[in-house]
Amino acid sequence: MSRNLLCNCNIKSQTLDTEFRTLVSFGKNLVIDEQLIKFAGRIFFLQYNPAKPAKRGILVRACVDTFTNFILSMDLYAASQTVPKGETKTLDVIKRLIDFPKQPNCTLFCDNYYGTIDVVEYIKSIGHEQVGTFRPSRLGKELSQNLEKLQLNQVVQYPVFKEVKLKKTTKEKLKVVTNQQQAQLKDQQQKHINTIMYIQKQVRIK
């Protein structure tokens, strides 16, 4: 029963995804995030996340236009999914979500789930930019070690990233500014922002 339901969900989500890609035009600022759709039935791919309003439901990842809030593409998470050899799960999700007609110079805003080197390199290779938070453990040994030498508001250059900057919040954590703020900032700067990486890291002020 659950397998049949998964098949039906996949067919419907793929149909919607095709319609979104065909009918919806999108701007330069896009957000990739997930949503837990409330569902109380018995299925094997039911997800539980106490941090979400729905708590239990079907997990859907989507690429959304920041200005219109229209969904451009979506992907249904169904527990174990086949990932192409040599790719990470994160990169596989990104490739499915931004597989729409090519529009250069888009800026994709993502949380730290998509903050990996391979994702950044792929997004750059297809002519887009990425803004988001990154975990030091995902940045490779050399870059992670160099983070200890950075001071607050110090900007340095790295081959993969245009700009690395530590930003302190009131809770003494490094955190990216909200997607809406970044979108407004980009519009003010006439649609051009360099790829910025904010490292999510504890900071102590002496």
Domain positions in the chain are 1-83, 104-206
pLDDT at position 130 is: 83
DSSP string, 103-121: -SS-EEEE-GGG--HHHHH
pLDDT at position 98 is: 82
pLDDT at position 190 is: 41
pLDDT at position 117 is: 79
pLDDT tens digits, one per residue of 15-48? 665 666 666 667 788 888 888 888 877 777 777 8
pLDDT tens digits, one per residue of 75-115? 887 766 666 666 778 888 888 888 765 666 788 888 888 88
144 has a pLDDT exceeding 80: no
pLDDT band at 205 (very low <50, low <70, confident <90, very high): very low
pLDDT at position 195 is: 34
Buried b / exposed e along 114-150 (16+ C-beta atoms within 10 A): bbbbebbebbeeeebbbbbbbeeebbeeebeeeeeeb
